[in-house]
Amino acid sequence: MKLTVKKDKLFKALQKVTNIIGSKSTLPVLGNVLFEAKGNQLTLTSTDLEIRITTTIEAQVEREGRTTIPAKKISSLVARFIDDSVLLDCNEKHHTDIVCGSAKFKLFGLQPDDFPVAPEFTPIKTLKFKEADLLRIMDQISYAVSLDDSRKVLHGILCSVKDNTFTAVATDGKRLALVEKLPLSFTGAEGDSIVPLKSAAELKRVLEKEGEVTLEMGDKQARFKTSGVEIFTKLIEGNYPNYRQVIPAAFTKTIDIPVKDFIAKLELVSIALADTSAFIKLIFEEGKLNFSAASNNVGEGADSIAINYSGDRMEISFNPVFLADPFKHTDADKIHMKLNDAFSPVAIESGDGFLYVIMPMRNR
């Protein structure tokens, strides 16, 4: 294999595929990136046996072939190269000469035949989205996924299709985040799939502001395809909890909350808390929302914003991190907070298909 490739393109391609490569693996070849040169293209692939990421870039291929190169070393080199073009020249022992300007290196690779092959895959359903829309969906909910819960199904994002509507859900048992969205297109059978959080995070990393992304869901695997990247992942098996039952059927009060003012005051007053296990108190009064926090070993703080609230005074306590998350991950100027009393679930909506349900904390 011998080829020349633009340094910037190679660097971006390596960034897309090397993130899943860990420092410890039972198979040494999993620490390498598979390089395949054919025609006028260079294809890079990495895998950790749960996720497989492939991307293709243009290259001037002088001699076709394939090899594997240590991921961390090639990434470190390309990140520091100064000149525009990189020459890769691999011999039959899979030792690759790497030249960029006056810099010359040799990296010892491993047999490409030892690199795991892509498994056979048959999609059950196929959806298409604008990349920007799917990126927004993942950003709006992925923080609510639980990695501590013993229920494996909660370690991922539920991707459900019913009545041609796509619903993405994440929950850790204490709060629930979901988004409903109509895809650009949908074919196949309706149903549920659970995408691991790590796979969703990799998908978020490669999505762009432009272009379209295709989601192919199978029985135990899924594939996500953009114009430049393909991510193949195992799915989490099992039945996701009935998330609809935690959403109250009705609310007695709906309050418009200005996002920037709310998050600024929440973060300011939270400084008075000793740790994130403490609670912050929201006090709803006529035309005003008060923030209050107190800690035995830090002190106390308070502030307020103007809101359109009317009615009896109401105090509700929340985990400040859980309360802040939906406000940090929306691009709306205002959200709607819906509530019944100080002890029932509270809903937060942004009007674009996003819903967040959070349980108040019982004051100790």
Would you place residue 277 in the very low, low, confident or very high pLDDT band (cuts 50, 70, 90)? low
- Is residue 330 packed enough to be buried (19+ CB in 10 Å), middle (13-18) or exposed (0-12)? buried
Residue 134 and residue 236 in one domain: yes
Confidence at 363, pLDDT banded by 50, 70, 90: low
Mean pLDDT within 165-176: 95
Q: Is residue 141 part of a domain?
A: yes
Give the H or E element holding residue 49. none
| Structural domain contains residue 364 | no
Q: Please check whether residue 363 lies inside any domain of the structure.
A: no
- Same domain as 96, residue 15: yes
* Domain termination site, one of 193, 208, 242: 242
For the stretch 67-101, pLDDT in tens is 999 999 999 999 999 999 999 999 999 999 999 99
Rounded to an integer, the average pLDDT of 107-121 is 95
- Does the pLDDT at position 312 exceed 70? yes
Return the structure tokens found at 245: 């039952």
Structure tokens at 290: 């008060």
- Residue 119 in any domain: the answer is no
Residue at which a domain ends, from 86, 114, 142: 114
Give the C-alpha separation, 330 to 352, whole Å.
10
Please say if the pLDDT value at position 313 is more than 90. yes
Does residue 221 share a domain with residue 164?
Answer: yes
Helices (H) and strands (E) in the chain, counts: 6, 26
Which pLDDT does position 276 carry in this prediction? Answer: 59
pLDDT digits (tens, 9 = 90+) for 235-276: 999 999 999 999 999 999 999 999 999 999 999 999 999 775
pLDDT of residue 274: 79
Structure tokens that stand for 157 in this block: 């994002």
Asked if 231 and 131 sit in the same domain, the reply is yes
Order of strands across the sheet with 103-108? 60-63, 2-6, 85-90, 95-100, 103-108
Are 213 and 227 contained in the same domain?
A: yes
Judge whether 120 lies within some domain. Answer: no
Q: What is the Cα–Cα distance from 80 to 162, expressed in whole angstroms?
A: 49
* Number of folded domains that form the chain: 3
> How many other CB atoms are there within 10 angstroms of residue 158's CB atom?
22
Instruction: Mark whether 173 and 69 lie in a shared domain.
Output: no
Sorted by sequence, the CB contacts under 8 Å of residue 336 that are 6+ apart come out as 254, 255, 256, 257, 348, 349, 350, 351
Which two structure tokens, joined as six digits, stand for 53? 């990421």
Co-location of 130 and 234 in the same domain:
yes
In terms of C-beta distances under 8 Å and separation of at least 24 residues, what long-range contacts does 132-135 make, across chains too?
132/207, 132/208, 132/209, 132/210, 133/181, 134/203, 134/207, 134/213, 134/215, 135/204, 135/207, 135/209
Residues 84 and 54 in one domain: yes
The whole-number average pLDDT for the span 297-314 is: 93
Q: Can you give the pTM of this predicted structure?
A: 0.91
Provide the terminal-to-terminal Cα distance of the chain, rounded to the nearest Å.
67
The reply to whether 8 and 26 lie within a common domain is yes
Structural domain span for residue 293: 247-358
Residues 211 and 315 in one domain: no
| 307 within domain boundaries | yes
Residue listed under structure tokens 């470190």: 76
Please indicate, yes or no, whether residues 99 and 137 belong to a single structural domain of this protein.
no
Examine residue 219 and state whether it is found in any structural domain, yes or no. Answer: yes
CATH number at residue 350: 3.10.150.10
Contact indicator for 353, 140 with CB cutoff of 8 Å: no
* 86 and 165 housed in the same domain: no
| 198's tokens | 């790590």
Give me the pLDDT at residue 209, please. Answer: 87
Q: Is 55 a domain residue?
A: yes
Of the residues 214, 242, 270, which one is the last residue of a structural domain?
242
